[in-house]
């Protein structure tokens, strides 16, 4: 008899002499997925009710691929330290670097001025407030940029014959985007920091999921028809340190 499921569990499998540790998350879904994150953590999302031994067996079968992905992300280690949200710090927007400029003001707002993200703040020495202002600015711009790029991606891949999906924008820890079976596309706010061709890759990837939900050969054929150089764009996106 299987014990009570918890939201997240720690597990490990062996791959030769190597121990591969991962977080196992249970969700109401049909299929199991394995995610190797840029910080070299591994997340396995499994359907609620699936036997743990079946999950472990699947991870063992994919262990070679997991280790290769870990090796790929090793090239970008160590990851940069956390942002401090102080004047002079650099932040990305659409693939370009901008410096923070913080000025005392009667309002709390950020604006893109030249090569600066200019933060006007009632408390310029309060980094937490600066962070909130900057994140609000990113969120507002993400909505505008994603809607604009979505329209262009649908036009470029008109043969997909899909209606513009509803877009939800929020910060996601482990992925750039996802598509529900109801046709809602979720995009990571952080994606607005990437170059436009990478944004278009993620959006088109999710549009293809409106036709083929799983990552099957048919899905990748469809994606290649939409974006022949999608592998280059994906690699570029993965190499960006946000």
Written as six digits, the tokens of 125 are: 């020495």
CA-CA distance, 8 to 1, in Å (whole number)?
A: 19
Question: Can you give the pLDDT at residue 242?
Answer: 60
CA-CA distance, 201 to 220, in Å (whole number)?
A: 12
Paired residues of 113 in beta bridges: 116
In three-state secondary structure terms, 48 is coil
- Which CATH class for the 90-239 domain? alpha beta
pTM passes above 0.85 = no
Domain positions in the chain are: 8-74, 90-239
- Whether residue 69 contacts residue 36, with contact meaning beta carbons closer than 8 Å, is answered with yes
Question: Can you give the pLDDT at residue 76?
Answer: 66
Question: Can you give the pLDDT at residue 77?
Answer: 67
The string of DSSP letters for 85-140 reads --TT-EEEETTEEEEEEEEE-SS-EEEEETTEEEEEESSTT-HHHHHHHHHHHHHH
**Side-chain half-sphere exposure of 199, counting CA atoms within 13 A:** 25
**How far is C-alpha 176 from the chain's CA centre?**
2
CA-CA distance, 118 to 101, in Å (whole number)?
A: 5
Q: pLDDT means per 10 residues in the chain (242 residues)?
A: 56 93 92 86 92 95 92 73 92 96 98 97 97 98 98 95 94 86 92 97 96 92 97 88 62
Beta-sheet pairing, 42-47 with 18-27: parallel
Question: Can you give the pLDDT at residue 50?
Answer: 93
**How far is C-alpha 236 from the chain's CA centre?**
13
């Amino acid at each position: 008899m299987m014990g009570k499921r918890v939201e997240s569990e720690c597990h490990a499998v062996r791959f030769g002499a190597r121990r591969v540790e991962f977080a196992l998350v249970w969700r109401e879904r049909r299929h199991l997925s394995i995610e190797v994150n840029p910080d070299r953590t591994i997340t396995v999302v499994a359907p609620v009710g699936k036997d743990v031994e079946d999950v472990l067996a699947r991870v063992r079968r994919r262990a070679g691929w997991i280790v290769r992905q870990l090796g790929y992300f090793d090239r970008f280690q160590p990851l940069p330290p956390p942002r401090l949200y102080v004047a002079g710090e650099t932040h990305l927007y659409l693939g370009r670097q901008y410096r923070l400029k913080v000025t005392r003001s009667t309002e709390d707002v950020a604006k893109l001025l030249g090569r600066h993200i200019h933060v006007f703040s009632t408390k310029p020495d309060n980094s937490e407030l600066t962070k909130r202002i900057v994140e609000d600015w990113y969120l507002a711009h993400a909505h505008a940029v994603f809607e604009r790029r979505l329209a262009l991606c649908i036009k470029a891949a008109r043969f997909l014959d899909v209606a513009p999906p509803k877009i939800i924008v929020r910060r996601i820890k482990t992925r750039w985007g996802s598509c529900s079976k109801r046709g809602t596309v979720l995009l990571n706010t952080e994606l607005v920091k990437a170059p436009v061709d990478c944004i278009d890759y993620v959006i088109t990837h999710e549009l293809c999921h409106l036709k083929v939900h799983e990552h099957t050969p048919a899905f990748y054929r469809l994606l290649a028809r939409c974006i022949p150089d999608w592998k280059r764009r994906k690699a570029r996106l993965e190499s960006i340190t946000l």
